[in-house]
């Protein structure tokens, strides 16, 4: 189970597309962190994947430092595995934090929109300063200390033309796990989607070039779409994880099905002290149940589509079981690009592609120790 902890409701950034209402106040206590882990273990899960989240979680760095070293022991006492990740904007990353992360095997998810122009377009600091220099420094420190990390980017219509350039910029600074998603709440026009299509084609060429060179990398959303085809028997059809394989915890210990609902008290489904409210959970599952919308029947990419995400559907279409035109158009666009990559590399019997997509033992994180080393060779 994924347990996402909102360590703080506050943030030192003011990202233009953020769905949270940041505000100062008391953050999550170390005791609540431990209770959240034990709650998940009490639910019978053999692996608890903990994410320190926010706001900006490094504003509560002391809580991370206090709880991280003991997570593995809590899990081991129950015969379970507890792992940790932190999702941060990078502004407060330094060498000592990277040392903490490496010592306790905590993965770092760095939120950055890429090259300086893209980063500064949508991710100013709370006091209005540009944040691109802070991101460049965070990438430098992460790479220099060989801390396993991924970069997570949001693409807005005004930055769509910078997507390929941003991926190049991040790649050149050591990122080998590169994940991007759309700002689905933005006003995407036909012209912006056409530009996005051009950027995906440019990224396709980079994907094939990197694969030919034998580099280890993961480029989303392409790799997820390709794997959903090449490993269809091993990978379960996409289903909404909210309230099923994921739960979010606010600073006061209340449980929510997903991080997107942390702003809505009516979406509470329990508390770390008392566990799930079974009636609330039944009502939640009844409302969406992780099912694909009826309107998707007969679609050729139905089993590889993100249309089961209840949170995204609620935000963009007003219903957990409805799909917005934008989501539908984007899923078709990116799946087409991914399939062209797959067809081309399969025909060429590209070794890197075949290993990533058809070797059962291969996983992007199993190769993470090689990622930073290869970054120095490019």
The rounded distance, in Å, linking the Cα atoms of 222 and 15 is 25
- The reported pLDDT for the residue numbered 321 is 75
- The reported pLDDT for the residue numbered 306 is 76
CB 110 within 8 A of CB 88: yes
307: left (phi over 0), alpha (psi -120 to 50) or beta: alpha
- The reported pLDDT for the residue numbered 233 is 56
The rounded distance, in Å, linking the Cα atoms of 202 and 193 is 14
- Superfamily grouping for domain 2-239+349-375: Aldolase class I (3.20.20.70)
Distances 99 to 42, 78, 147, 295 between C-alpha atoms, Å: 31, 27, 8, 49
Output the six-digit token pair for 231.
Answer: 């490993």
C-alpha angle 370/372/375, rounded to 5°? Answer: 110
Q: What is the mean pLDDT for each group of 10 consecutive residues in the chain (378 residues)?
A: 95 91 89 97 94 96 97 95 96 97 96 98 95 97 96 96 98 95 93 96 96 92 88 59 84 92 89 93 72 69 77 78 87 93 95 83 48 38
Q: Where are the domains of the chain?
A: 2-239+349-375, 288-347
pTM: 0.90
Helix axes 95-103, 132-144, angle to 10 degrees: 50
Select from 364, 362, 368, 365 the least CA-distant residue to 146: 368
Can you tell me which residue has the tokens 């070293």? 69
Number of H helices, E strands in the chain: 13, 11
């Amino acid at each position: 189970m994924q347990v996402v902890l909102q360590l703080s409701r506050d943030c030192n950034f003011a990202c233009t597309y953020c769905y949270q209402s940041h505000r100062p106040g008391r953050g999550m206590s170390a005791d609540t962190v431990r209770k959240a882990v034990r709650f998940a273990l009490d639910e019978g899960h053999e692996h608890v994947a903990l994410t320190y989240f926010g706001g900006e979680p490094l504003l509560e760095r002391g809580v991370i430092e206090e709880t991280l070293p003991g997570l593995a022991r809590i899990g081991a006492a129950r015969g379970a595995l507890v792992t940790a990740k932190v999702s941060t904007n990078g502004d407060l990353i330094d060498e000592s934090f990277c040392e903490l992360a490496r010592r306790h095997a905590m993965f770092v998810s760095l939120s950055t929109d890429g090259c300086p122009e893209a980063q500064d377009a949508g991710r100013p600091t709370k006091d209005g300063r540009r944040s691109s220099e802070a991101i460049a420094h965070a990438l430098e420190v992460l790479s220099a200390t060989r801390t396993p990390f991924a970069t997570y980017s949001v693409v807005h219509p005004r930055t769509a033309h910078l997507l390929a350039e941003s991926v190049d910029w991040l790649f050149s600074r050591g990122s080998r796990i590169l994940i991007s998603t759309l700002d689905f709440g933005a006003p995407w026009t036909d012209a912006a989607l056409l530009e996005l299509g051009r950027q995906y084609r440019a990224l396709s060429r980079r994907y094939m070039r990197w694969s030919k060179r034998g580099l280890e990398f993961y480029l989303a959303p392409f790799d997820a779409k390709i794997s959903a085809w090449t490993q269809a028997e091993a990978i379960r059809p996409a289903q909404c994880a909210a309230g099923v394989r994921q739960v979010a915890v606010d600073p006061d210990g209340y449980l929510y099905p997903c991080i997107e609902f942390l702003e809505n008290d009516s979406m509470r489904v329990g508390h770390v002290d008392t566990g799930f409210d079974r009636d609330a959970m039944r009502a939640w599952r009844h409302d969406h149940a992780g099912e694909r919308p009826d309107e998707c029947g007969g679609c050729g990419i139905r089993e590889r589509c993100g249309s089961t995400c209840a949170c995204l559907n609620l935000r963009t279409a007003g219903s957990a079981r409805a799909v917005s035109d934008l989501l539908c158009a984007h899923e078709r666009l990116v799946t087409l690009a991914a399939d062209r990559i797959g067809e081309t590399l399969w025909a060429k019997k590209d070794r890197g592609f075949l290993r990533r997509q058809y070797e059962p033992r291969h996983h992007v994180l199993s190769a993470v120790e090689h990622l930073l080393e290869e970054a120095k060779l490019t």
